[in-house]
Amino acid sequence: MVNKNITKVLLGSIHDFPESLGKTVKVNQKEIAVFKLSSGKIQAVDNRCPHKGGVLSEGIVSGDSVFCPMHDWKICLDNGRVHEPDTGLVKSYRTSVEEELVYLWLED
């Protein structure tokens, strides 16, 4: 069994994240797209589409998915899977909100 280090990173106040829009954050040399959905849930994925590297934080949010701004690929923000008929996967990250502060959980 391999032990993984998990780091909890403060991203800011819940009020720093506009509803249904993406925001780019940089953590440990990684560029991550963070979204506050209309439900209030915070989701985070790598900020690049697996197709042509489109910046996902600039995409249009619909429900629990984001559309890549380059070629309209639809990506589920819950698990990072690209919707059919396209294929691919974007790394998704665990998030939490505690006392109106948004945290990202990173595994080493």
The pLDDT tens digits of the residues spanning 13-63 come to: 999 999 999 999 999 889 999 999 999 999 999 999 998 889 999 999 999
pLDDT at 6: 87
pLDDT at 52: 87
Contacts of 14 (CB under 8 A, 6+ apart): 36, 42, 97, 100, 101, 102
Q: What is the pTM assigned to this prediction?
A: 0.91
**2 falls in which pLDDT band (50, 70, 90)?**
low
pLDDT at position 69 over 70: yes
Domain boundaries, the chain: 14-96
Query: Which residue shows structure tokens 């690209």?
Result: 82
3-state helix, strand, coil in the chain (%, to 5): 5, 50, 45
**Whether 68 contacts 57, CB under 8 Å:** no
**Fold observed for domain 14-96:** Rieske Iron-sulfur Protein (2.102.10)
